[in-house]
Amino acid sequence: MTKPNVAWITDTTASLSEEFINKYHINVIPLQLIINQESFREKIDITEKEFYERMKNEKGTFQTSQPSIGDFVDVYKRLKEEYDFGFAIHASSILSGTFQTSKMAAEMADFKLFVFDSRTGSYPHSFIVKKAVELFEQGLEAEEIIKKLETFPERTRLFLVPSNLDQLHKSGRVTGGQKILASLLNIKPILSIEEGTARIKDKVRSDKKALTWLMDKLKDDMEKHTVRKVVVVHANDPERATKLEKLVKELIPTIKTECMMLITVAGVHTGVGTLGLSWVCE
């Protein structure tokens, strides 16, 4: 039986390498980054690094927005002429409207599409995309792939530690009083992306304790599951990210590691300098 010709679609919340994108012809739809009401296509008109640098050095509003439905319709009309169907994997439908927009656009373009809600972003999102491609290469049908992918979101980990509460305050996630109190006490909230949304998992009183908390979570998961790779995510703070990666390597010399820029849809709320760890329990 001939393998169907499938188009792969995702968005820029999946931190995929250019090498992987080119090898499997992944169609990556850019999110919109908005700086003082001016829109930019993520990774086309502006990089994540440039966005974070402007966030750090400029006053004003910094926001993200899902791709327009027109962007998706144009892509799906083109893909319809070349492929039997499409397989799209998008960022959490709770954190972004991209998933729903993608579905609607496929219907408008009359393009057969299987859509999966990754219920996450960043490295775990890219892991799920790669897993879907791997399963397809093994000969699984689209429905079988979705069934297997459903087991992964609850096994993904993405923990974030904001460097300060300025951006969380601007986005309305913390009040002015909470911000002042946290600053006085040097309190660090530890955020987790789970069940499709952001949650405060804990609050600790220093950067050192925050890193200890992250490492304890990693060690706990490694005792119970197979963890092949640990990714350090950062909002344009490569120096601290490299130090955290070194810490992981010292604790677990055999583990594969990587440093990765934090997706802007998260960083726009957590702020420049956010640091975190991500992995998948296999």
Q: What is the CATH code of the structural domain delimited by 6-31+66-151?
A: 3.40.50.10170
Backbone φ and ψ of 71, nearest 5°: -60, -45
What is the full DSSP assignment across 77-97?
HHHHTT-SEEEEEES-TTT-S
Which amino acid is it at 11?
A: D
Residues of the chain with CATH 3.40.50.10170: 6-31+66-151
Q: How far is CA 135 from the centre of its chain?
A: 21
Angle at 143 between CA 94 and CA 116, to 5 degrees: 15
Domain 155-280 matching CATH 3.30.1180.10: the answer reads: yes
pLDDT tens, per residue, the chain with 282 residues: 456 799 999 999 999 999 999 999 999 999 999 999 999 999 999 999 999 999 999 988 898 999 999 999 999 999 999 999 999 999 988 888 899 999 999 999 999 999 999 999 999 999 999 999 999 999 999 999 999 999 999 999 999 998 765 654 454 444 443 433 444 346 788 989 888 888 889 988 888 999 999 999 999 999 999 999 999 999 999 999 999 999 999 999 999 999 999 999 888 888 899 999 999 999
Which residues of the chain are in CATH 3.30.1180.10 domains? Answer: 155-280
What angle, 0 to 180 degrees and rounded to 10, lies between the N-to-C axes of helices 207-224 and 238-251? 40
